[in-house]
């Protein structure tokens, strides 16, 4: 797969689904770019496609200014793996990771994702987010 084709699969994940915007519906974007067998894997759990779609919808309501901006994209030689270093930022309003927030505090964290591509869709993503830093920022 070519680098532009791979980016056309992965970038909507960040720009149209994780980043709150008025041009896209995150559930529709994720339905398109994620395989039915999709897995989102971190050190704590594995989520399926439906669970991630629900979580992203919740984040759109909780963090109405959420931006998840790719900073670096590295595509493997065969185009089947894509590493994305991104920065996520926003101001949660409501109950967020055990804190009650009013939208006056913000976080800015780094994330690193390794996407696996097959059949023109993301089948798996291994991810790390620096939520410890985000929680320190939100606490104040």
Q: Return the SS3 of 71.
A: strand
Is pTM, for the whole model, over 0.85? Answer: yes
pLDDT, tens digit (0-9, with 9 covering 90-100), for 48-98: 999 999 999 999 999 999 999 999 999 999 999 999 999 999 999 999 999
Per-residue confidence (pLDDT) for residue 70, from 0 to 100: 97
Q: How many CB atoms lie within 10 A of CB 84?
A: 23
Per-residue confidence (pLDDT) for residue 4, from 0 to 100: 81
Q: How many residues does the chain have?
A: 140
Q: How many CA atoms lie within 13 A of 32 on its CB side?
A: 14
pLDDT, tens digit (0-9, with 9 covering 90-100), for 17-59: 999 999 999 999 999 999 999 999 999 999 999 999 999 999 9
Contacts of 113 (CB under 8 A, 6+ apart): 83, 84, 86, 125, 126, 127, 128
**Confidence tier at 3 by pLDDT (50, 70, 90):** confident
């Amino acid at each position: 797969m070519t680098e532009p084709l791979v980016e056309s699969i992965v970038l909507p994940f960040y720009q149209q689904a994780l980043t709150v915007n008025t041009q896209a519906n995150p559930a529709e974007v994720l339905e398109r770019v994620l395989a039915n067998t999709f897995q989102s894997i971190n050190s704590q759990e594995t989520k399926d496609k439906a669970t991630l779609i629900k979580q992203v919808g919740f984040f759109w309501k909780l963090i109405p200014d959420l931006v998840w901006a790719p900073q670096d994209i590295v595509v493997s030689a065969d185009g089947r793996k894509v590493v994305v270093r991104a920065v996520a930022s926003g101001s949660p309003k409501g109950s967020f990771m055990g804190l009650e927030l009013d939208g006056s505090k913000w976080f800015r964290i780094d994330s690193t994702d390794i996407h696996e591509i097959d059949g023109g869709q993301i089948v798996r993503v291994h991810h790390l987010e620096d939520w410890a830093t985000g929680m320190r920022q939100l606490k104040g």
